[in-house]
Structure 1
Amino acid sequence: MPPPYSTLKQRLDNGDIVILDGATGTELQRRGIDMDPAAWCGVASLDNQQTLSEIHADYIAAGAEVVTANTFATSRVVLAQAGFGDRVEEINRAAVEAALRAREASGNPEVVVAASLSHMVYLASDREPEPMPSEEEAAEAFHEQAEILKAAGAELILLEMMYHPTRVPQVLAAARATGLPVWFGLSARTSAKGRLLSYLDSAEIPLARIVELIPGRGIDAAGCMHSGAEITSAVLGQIRKRFKGPLMAYPDSGYFEMPEWHFHDVITPARLEGFYLDWLENGAQIIGGCCGLTVEHVKAAVRARDRYQNAL
């Protein structure tokens, strides 16, 4: 049997639609797991293996064809702030292994296990750490984590929340150095006047500046993630001008106040299904959900795919 990702890549090349999973970190919180004040969901993989595997298994049962390990907030620069700098490899391996076990238990060997890789260097919302990690320390941490994820068995690196113009090239280089396939997920927001911006909230950086950092080759997919559903179509439009490969869309819903996600006014699965249909009609091939979204939202993605394909 060919490796799971090679089968999925062939499907994408043939124009197929792929279902990504939903949130991992916020789903841990929603199921009663405490979030860390400095590393959010980063350390939860250590003592909550069963819950984490259950989350992945539930997404697979709902129709997800890619599940994402709980590694968004597990680089050394983040874990050190939470007092877990000596357990970086253990935490990352535990996260990937939980996803691998869920796939094995599902009986579906074609599910791809992805690892999230972010350029986050701190997560506290009220202050930056003193001192901030240097750019060299951050780049080293990204490379270290990427290699650990590969060694642990991840089959795909999912770059999540790309929005920082300096760190995007660093984390992209770390991911590509592994030799694993890479998907690029950028995050956006709007200005008070409705202009599309990088998700970075400390400056008004035009989204186009981040889009320009998407490489023309060497990645297999690019798209909009951890952004509002209402702006995703416009973001995908900008990405398409730069990137000609498969597009992906997986929005968030609710809002974050470190260390917890607030599940207020979360988009209903039925409403999100309509957005999914719109994105598919405009060329997206990979759909799923990010923070705040659940198994029911992944089921909505499956329904949208089926409706779209039945209408062809």
Structure 2
Amino acid sequence: MQNPLTNLLNQRHYLVNDGAMGTELDRRGVDTNNSLWSALALTSDPDAVQAVHADYFAAGADIATTNTYQATPQGFAQQGIDHQVSSKIITEAVALAQVARDSATRSQERLVAGSVGPYGAFLADGSEYTGKYQLSPVQYHDFHLMRMRALAAAGVDLFAFETQPNNDEVTALVELLGQEFPDLTAWVSFSISDAHHLADGTPLARAAAALNDNPQIEAVGVNCTDMTMIAPALRVLRRATEKPLIVYPNNGDTYNPSSKTWVTNPHAASFTDLVPEWVTAGAAIIGGCCRTSPTDIATIRVAIDELE
């Protein structure tokens, strides 16, 4: 089993993750108004997806997360796309990130993480922020397996189990990782309701501690949450696990999952101010989620380089 994230951290101490995909596609005029969200661009405008990856690498990202958060065979099936074609689309999503990585000008090693969003993302009703759904372990396995097989076959360096609001689903994903992909690793990044709880109410410390002895989980953290929750969540995580900690919050704007709209927050704190605080609280990998841009990732890169 390779440990790509750990190996890179041993070289550099801190890593920079990339930022939002959907936000950047919207800014470029790419239609994401669909239950597939940004995954729609994998068929409508793959060049734009590759360009977003390239811009994040140019901004200083060490890791690209593939545009597969909402790219599931089940979701594609609802759009009339069969499983064979959807697997090919997911494979091509990995290639877009790999080409961007291999074309980047900075000579340092970079990783491509295969994004595995939660079942709640497939529901496209905001459930990734509530975790209010329940499947059996077998049903979770069946839901995630085809996408993970396509990502693995395409050569991702590791999986990103991200925006995970439901601890039973996390348990099932980690079991699936061990059963079907013993040579691959993953990070787990939770969707939280506050600094102490997952969105489904599970204590964050308990969820993190349950992963501490699993060698296939290389990092644990939180994403897609308000910037102000990161520091207190890191303190909870640091007491619960010895794993490297990964955080990639939203940019400070406010999201309404019912209307699926954002409200700009002109008073949001900056990454320049917060990154040193997050590192002090234990963060080893820092990036951005919704509403962040290559400019934000460049800001994080500068802050990390100054710390190093």
Normalising by structure 1, report the TM-score.
Answer: 0.84
Q: Describe the shift of the 1:283–1:34 C-alpha distance in structure 2 as closer, same or farther (beyond 3 A).
A: same
Task: Pick which of 61-70 and 86-95 moved more.
Answer: 86-95
| Aligned with 1:157 (options 156, 159, 166) | 159
Alignment correspondent of 2:60:
63
| Aligned with 1:76 (options 59, 70, 73) | 73
Q: Describe the shift of the 1:264–1:175 C-alpha distance in structure 2 as closer, same or farther (beyond 3 A).
A: farther
Alignment correspondent of 1:248:
246
Question: Which residue type is aligned with residue 176 of structure 2?
Answer: A
Alignment correspondent of 2:48:
51
Q: Describe the shift of the 1:11–1:206 C-alpha distance in structure 2 as closer, same or farther (beyond 3 A).
A: closer
**Is the contact made by 2:247 and 2:283 (CA closer than 8 Å) also made in structure 1?**
yes
Alignment correspondent of 1:198:
198
| Aligned with 2:193 (options 189, 212, 220) | 189
- What RMSD in Å do the two structures reach over aligned CA positions? 2.8
Alignment correspondent of 2:228:
230
Question: Which residue type is aligned with residue 143 of structure 1?
Answer: L
**Cα distance in 2 for residues equivalent to 1:261 and 1:280:** 31
Structure 1 unaligned residues grouped into runs of 5+: none
Structure 2 unaligned residues grouped into runs of 5+: 128-132
**1:262 aligns to 2:262 (yes or no):** yes
Question: Which residue type is aligned with residue 140 of structure 1?
Answer: D
**Cα distance in 2 for residues equivalent to 1:276 and 1:156:** 24
Q: Report the secondary structure of 2:246's partner residue.
A: strand
**Is the contact made by 1:38 and 1:81 (CA closer than 8 Å) also made in structure 2?**
no
| Aligned with 1:106 (options 104, 107, 119) | 104
Q: Report the secondary structure of 2:36's partner residue.
A: coil
State the shift of 1:214 in Å: 2.8
Alignment correspondent of 1:18:
15
**1:141 aligns to 2:139 (yes or no):** no
- Structure with more helix by fraction: 2
**Cα distance in 2 for residues equivalent to 1:61 and 1:230:** 27
Q: Describe the shift of the 1:69–1:180 C-alpha distance in structure 2 as closer, same or farther (beyond 3 A).
A: same
Alignment correspondent of 1:284:
283
**1:41 aligns to 2:43 (yes or no):** no
**Cα distance in 1 for residues equivalent to 2:126 and 2:161:** 25
Q: Describe the shift of the 1:45–1:103 C-alpha distance in structure 2 as closer, same or farther (beyond 3 A).
A: same
1:214-229 equivalence runs, <5 A: 214-218=211-215, 219-229=217-227
State the shift of 1:25 in Å: 2.4
**Is the contact made by 1:77 and 1:138 (CA closer than 8 Å) also made in structure 2?**
no
**Cα distance in 2 for residues equivalent to 1:9 and 1:126:** 32
**Cα distance in 2 for residues equivalent to 1:21 and 1:15:** 16
Q: Describe the shift of the 1:138–1:257 C-alpha distance in structure 2 as closer, same or farther (beyond 3 A).
A: same
**Is the contact made by 1:68 and 1:113 (CA closer than 8 Å) also made in structure 2?**
yes
**Cα distance in 1 for residues equivalent to 2:219 and 2:72:** 23
Q: Describe the shift of the 1:97–1:180 C-alpha distance in structure 2 as closer, same or farther (beyond 3 A).
A: same
Normalising by structure 2, report the TM-score.
Answer: 0.85
Alignment correspondent of 2:184:
180
Alignment correspondent of 2:130:
none
**Cα distance in 2 for residues equivalent to 1:250 and 1:32:** 24
**Cα distance in 1 for residues equivalent to 2:73 and 2:266:** 32
Deviation readout 1:5-54 (Å, 9 max, x if unpaired): 74x53242356111111111222222211124322222321221111111
